[in-house]
Structure 1
């Protein structure tokens, strides 16, 4: 978690190519004031039509999602919604491998376009709550990405704009479940950042202080009652329950639901395995993790080294507990390989895998390999790290 999460996070994703025969049957709405009564965001018919596309996106079936959302872009070319969704599609590609910057420019560009379209609406009608909603959301996601990249100046600017338009979007009762996510994240993380990032306190003085427990309750409400923001709220909830709130069983409940609803989403899949491991259900974590590795080997969309590192480690740990050292060595080696692919040699998964490899090779009588991996722990960790300390003690005790 970081400064990213003080900002708004809503809606869902992806556009692509529309076949000509589909275009021929479509009538674009160039005057968005002539659409159905009320805001497009509140159009129940639209919600019904795009539900399948949204679910497809979350299930990483991007081709199907793109077909559904592209119809919306063609039908409402002057509305910010299509461009907002296009930006969010890039965001989920980023989430699954957060260090991959290849989608950054596209995501920021789409959000800029959503901002441009929404500004036209709000210039025409300053009381347009829907336009303010999209401005808050687009700036919010930009701030979220900038903070992931540690571009604090841009993150602060975008976040201030998100909060400004969040205030302007209030007052429309039917929009409140969607807008509540922004309030919830702000309330929780404006306090969290002050407590955990002292160097950012001067920046946080630019913002009003929130209410952390209120923010948590608001997130729970959004997770129950929102249409567009429900899954995003659940995404934040399970992360908070797993880390800040120290409620691993609540986190497990949410990740189990998300994995069952979107079984092909690698992010939800790996966090379900992680929560099973966290609550001591190692055998189940192993079975879920074996499926993750299988999908990586079969090149499923979004299944990559980060998921593989988690999965291989959980499997290795289960075999260790069973004293099946031959199999545990195999999966610790896979954890190391995934860590090398990611350049994540200083992570706990990498260091404790190397530590266990050293111990297990020693058990098998291979002192040369044992020393190699114990030395690897020393190489990539600081002296005060628990894995480093344990490696040094093991080397000394066994005269390696």
Structure 2
């Protein structure tokens, strides 16, 4: 069963890169559109469809690093779907991250894009190693990730994705300083955090036209509200926004159930649980074992103390 990861540990962890500049505007727009299609399929929990789309789209620009990052992202969602003990999935995840990093070095010329690409790869690797209990390796990648994020400060207006990475950094760095005194000597060597500035940056991203920035910032705002601010009502607003766009996303629906559970809203819980079961049962792209895993997550949540 997937072991929970603290929000702080995953604070600077993102999922995958948003968009890259290419040589001409037509190619750039087409690339962004194709990437958007894949993201929507992933958020709709149509993982097999997303995999097929990547295979089709990457033929146009096979050496572009975004496709390897998207494949790593796809494998990550498979890991979250009950594959934490699957060594083949773990190896695929590392392979695609390394492949993306190699391609980025040979493809990306823009300084901001290159920096953001490295942040994504290092953040992804940090999250994976924390999940796999490889804490020393995770610390190495986390340090590299923080270095790249701090180097990007002040360039948010020039490159929108930096609002997401900077926002997460500012919020969680101050939060860590407040809640973990033992870490303060270590945090002394990094730029100061600012929770309100971090929230403002994330809110800005949550209204972005970019699908990845919008959904990931909304997701982190939900986690901050629920896990750290202990405000399930506010968290419910954020997850409701996500579910309006992706009603069949099982992970989002589970967080709605968690928030409703905390608020003792029994009528709404029953409706949400029915929607959850329908999304799991009615998804033709989930395996039997994945469906069993998600049903068990629901049963565990129902047994959890309020």
Q: Calculate the TM-score normalised by the size of structure 1.
A: 0.64
Question: What SS is found at the alignment partner of 1:75?
Answer: coil
What is the aligned partner in structure 1 of residue 176 from structure 2?
193
Change (3 A) 1:4 1:112: farther
Aligned equivalents of 2:71, 2:184: Cα separation in 1: 34
Give deviations 1:242-266, integer Å, cap 9, x for gaps: 1212322221112122223222221
The 8 Å contact of residues 222 and 233 in structure 1, kept in 2 or not, is answered as yes
The 8 Å contact of residues 12 and 88 in structure 1, kept in 2 or not, is answered as no
Aligned equivalents of 2:13, 2:274: Cα separation in 1: 35
Change (3 A) 1:80 1:52: closer
Tell me if 1:270 matches 2:254.
yes
The 8 Å contact of residues 144 and 155 in structure 1, kept in 2 or not, is answered as yes
1:55 CA drift (Å): 0.9
What is the aligned partner in structure 2 of residue 60 from structure 1?
45
Aligned equivalents of 1:208, 1:97: Cα separation in 2: 37
What is the aligned partner in structure 2 of residue 106 from structure 1?
92
Q: Out of 14, 35, 54, which is 1:9 matched to?
A: 14
1:76 CA drift (Å): 1.9
The 8 Å contact of residues 60 and 264 in structure 1, kept in 2 or not, is answered as yes
Give deviations 1:150-174, integer Å, cap 9, x for gaps: 4332222212222333355567667
Deviates more, 1:163-172 or 1:131-140: 163-172
Aligned equivalents of 1:50, 1:197: Cα separation in 2: 38
**What is the number of equivalent residue pairs in this alignment?**
294
Aligned equivalents of 2:254, 2:22: Cα separation in 1: 45
Change (3 A) 1:244 1:7: same
What is the aligned partner in structure 1 of residue 3 from structure 2?
none
The 8 Å contact of residues 7 and 141 in structure 1, kept in 2 or not, is answered as no
Q: Out of 194, 199, 208, which is 2:191 matched to?
A: 208
The 8 Å contact of residues 164 and 202 in structure 2, kept in 1 or not, is answered as yes
Change (3 A) 1:204 1:33: closer
Change (3 A) 1:50 1:236: same
Change (3 A) 1:115 1:211: same
What is the aligned partner in structure 2 of residue 326 from structure 1?
none
The 8 Å contact of residues 5 and 185 in structure 1, kept in 2 or not, is answered as no
What is the aligned partner in structure 2 of residue 134 from structure 1?
117
Give deviations 1:70-105, integer Å, cap 9, x for gaps: 233222222211111111112222334485454333
Question: What SS is found at the alignment partner of 1:139?
Answer: helix
Change (3 A) 1:34 1:289: closer
Tell me if 1:162 matches 2:145.
yes
The 8 Å contact of residues 183 and 218 in structure 1, kept in 2 or not, is answered as yes
Cα RMSD (Å): 3.2
Aligned equivalents of 2:127, 2:169: Cα separation in 1: 12
Aligned equivalents of 2:155, 2:255: Cα separation in 1: 35
Specify every segment of 5 or more residues in structure 1 that has no aligned partner in the other structure, as ranges.
14-31, 315-334, 336-348, 354-400
Q: Out of 198, 208, 226, which is 1:242 matched to?
A: 226
Aligned equivalents of 1:163, 1:173: Cα separation in 2: 16
Tell me if 1:89 matches 2:89.
no
Question: What SS is found at the alignment partner of 1:208?
Answer: coil
Change (3 A) 1:303 1:276: farther
Deviates more, 1:1-10 or 1:102-111: 1-10
